[in-house]
Structure 1
Amino acid sequence: MTKRYLKEHNVSFEERNINQDPEYLDLLKQQGFKSVPVVMNSVSDPIVGFRPDSLKDLVG
């Protein structure tokens, strides 16, 4: 749902798939995340899970 939301709102992103590249899962665990998706950007704090209320801040 998060990826779909970003695509529908023309927000560019780089996907790092934990199933295809398990090292990303280790990286997320090291940073304290316990669930996915995690959206990281330079503008705000990471967004964990499908949070359209938070994702709307990336649209623009």
Structure 2
Amino acid sequence: MFSKKEASKQTELAAITGTKPHYLSDIERGRANPRIELLARLAAALDITIDELVDW
């Protein structure tokens, strides 16, 4: 369960990357497979590489 602070950050990240907060949650939980374009937007928004984001 997300705290209010974490939910707010997830909502902000979703807005920045043009997706929905529940989709980000699904990605985190392994329930969704995002396209590479979304991974690139997420990595850019978080100022990390895609490799760091997915932690192969």
Q: TM-score normalised to the size of structure 1?
A: 0.30
Larger Rg: 1
**TM-score normalised per structure 2:** 0.31
Greater strand percent: which structure?
Answer: 1
